[in-house]
Structure 1
C-alpha cells in the first residue's frame, strides 16, 4: 500500500505532538518534585523562585475580570500610599539634608507600596512583567498575558488617580506650611518634563529593581522575610530617581490638582509660582515609561531568569 507525502507529513506532525506532550508531562512531574523538595526550606532558592514566579503568572490568568480590576485598583492605591509617604519624608529637606540622604529616606519609605502589594494582596503592572516566564514556558498564552497586563494597567491607573484626588481633597498637601505640596509639585514637574529617551531607559532600570524586589520577596516564607527583602531594591530605584509608570500615575495628577485648584494661601506659603507640568508630555512619557518597565521587568529579569532556570535543557552526554 503506497503512502502519500501528505500522510507522512501528518504522521510526522502527530509524532512531534506526542513528543511535546511527553516532554510537558515530564516537565510537570519534575516541577511537582521540585515543589515538594523545597516545601520545608526556610527560604526558596533561585530555581524554586523561578518556578513559583511561573505558578503565580499562571494563577493570575485564571482570575476573572472583576477580580483582576479590583486587585489592580488596590495595587494603584498601595503604590500611591508609598508615593505619599515618600513625599512627606522628603518635604522641606532641600538645603537642610544632603540630597542623596533625602532620596534614600524617600526610597525606603516608598517601599511601603510594594510591601502592601505583596503582603496585603494586590496586582501591580510592573511586577506582572514577570508573567513573561510562564509565557516562555508555554504555560500561558500571549493573549492571556496581554489581557492581564491591560486590565491591571487600567486598574492601577484608576487606583492611583482616585488616591491622588482623595489626597488633594483632604488638604494634606498644605501641611508644613505647604512643604508637602511643594515636594509634590517638584515630583510632578520633574516627571512630566523628563525627555522621553531618558524616561524610557529610566523605566527599564526602575523595573529591573522592582521585579528584583518581587523576586526576592517570593523567596521569603514569612512577612518579615518579605518586607526586609523588598525594602532595598525598591529603595534603590526611588533613590536613583528611576521611572515607575504606576507611581507616575499618582505623582503627576496630584501635582496637577494642586496646580489647578490649590487656594491662594498655599502659593503664599511656599513663595513660588506654579511649575510647568505639561499634560501632553506626561501622557507621552507615561507610555514610554510603561514600555521601559516592560523591557526591564519582562526581558532583563523575567526572560533572563527563565533562560537560566526554566528553559528546556538538552541532556548532557
Structure 2
C-alpha cells in the first residue's frame, strides 16, 4: 500500500526539517528562488482563469498545480520550512540550532521573494505589452487585489490587522497540511492528491499566503495599483508571515509531533501500556 502511517510520516517531517536547516546557502537560495517563481506563475494562472471564467472556484481548483510541481521538484517555500525546521530542533538532532533555523528561514524568504518578484516583473511586461499600454483585464484585477488586501485591511485598523493575521494562520494551517499530506503516500499520484485538497481550500477561501503575496502585491504596484510598498509590507506581508509561522508550526507541526512522535526514551513507556 502507498499510505504511510502518521508515526512514520512525522519522522519524515523531522528528517526533512533537519536537511533543510543543514542545507548549504547556494542550494537553499536556488531551491527557494524556484519555489517562489513557480508559485507566482501558478497564482498568475489562477487569477487569469478567474477573470476569464468569472468563477473563482475554477481558479482555486487549478492553482495547486504550481504547489505540486515545486514540491515534487524538491523546492522550498517559507511556509513549509516554518513548519518542518523547528521539529528537528525539538527532536534534538545534532547540529540543529535556533540560529540555524533562523538562517534557513531568512534565506528561504529572500529566495522566495526574488523568484516571485522576477515573475511579477515578467507578468507585468506581458500584461502591458512591455509597459507600452494600460494593463489588460488580468493585470487590472491583480492591481485591485493589492488595494483590497492592504488598504482594505488598513481601513479597519486593529480589527483589520487581526483579520489579516488570522487569515495568515488559517492559510498555513492548510498549506502545511498539504506539505505533510505529500508525505502520507509513496506514490506520485497519492502525493499530488493529498496536496491538492488543502491548497485548493486555502486559495478559494482567500487566506493570506506570504509567498503568493510576494507576487501579487509587487505585481499590483507595477500594474498601477493605488497602494505603496510600505502599505504592502505593513498591512500584508509582515503580519502574514507571522500568521503563517503560527498556523503551520502550532496547528500542523507541533500538533502532529506531540501526538505521533515518540523519542527513543519514551518507547519503553508506550510499550508498557496495555492495549485496550
1:146 aligns with 2:102: yes
1:187 aligns with 2:145: yes
Does the CA-based 8 Å contact 1:137-1:310 persist in structure 2? no
1:82 aligns with 2:42: yes
Distance in 2 (alpha carbons) for counterparts of 1:85 and 1:170: 13
> Aligned to 2:126, which of 155, 158, 170?
170
- Secondary structure of the structure 2 residue equivalent to 1:298: helix
Does the CA-based 8 Å contact 2:127-2:139 persist in structure 1? no
**Structure 2 equivalent of residue 303 of structure 1:** 254
> Aligned to 2:209, which of 225, 229, 244?
244
Distance in 1 (alpha carbons) for counterparts of 2:26 and 2:211: 20
TM-score with structure 1 length normalisation?
0.75
| Shift, 1:311, TM fit | 4.5
**Structure 2 equivalent of residue 104 of structure 1:** 57
Does the CA-based 8 Å contact 1:91-1:182 persist in structure 2? no
Instruction: State the structure with more CA Rg.
Output: 1
Give 5+ residue unaligned stretches, structure 1: 1-40, 260-274
- Secondary structure of the structure 2 residue equivalent to 1:171: helix
- Secondary structure of the structure 1 residue equivalent to 2:183: helix
| Shift, 1:172, TM fit | 6.7
Count of aligned pairs? 254
TM-score with structure 2 length normalisation?
0.86
Q: 1:172 to 1:135 in 2, by over 3 A?
A: farther
Give 5+ residue unaligned stretches, structure 2: 154-159
**Structure 1 equivalent of residue 157 of structure 2:** none
Cα deviation per residue 1:97-134 (whole Å; 9 max; x = unaligned)? 5xxxx232222222122112211221110011222222
Does the CA-based 8 Å contact 2:218-2:229 persist in structure 1? no
Distance in 2 (alpha carbons) for counterparts of 1:120 and 1:188: 29
Distance in 1 (alpha carbons) for counterparts of 2:170 and 2:262: 24
1:58 aligns with 2:18: yes
Distance in 2 (alpha carbons) for counterparts of 1:278 and 1:169: 20
Distance in 1 (alpha carbons) for counterparts of 2:244 and 2:110: 15
Q: Which has the higher contact order (CA 8 A, sep 6+)?
A: 2
**Structure 2 equivalent of residue 30 of structure 1:** none
Q: How does 1:127-146 map to 2 (within 5 A)?
A: 127-130=80-83, 131-139=85-93, 140-146=96-102
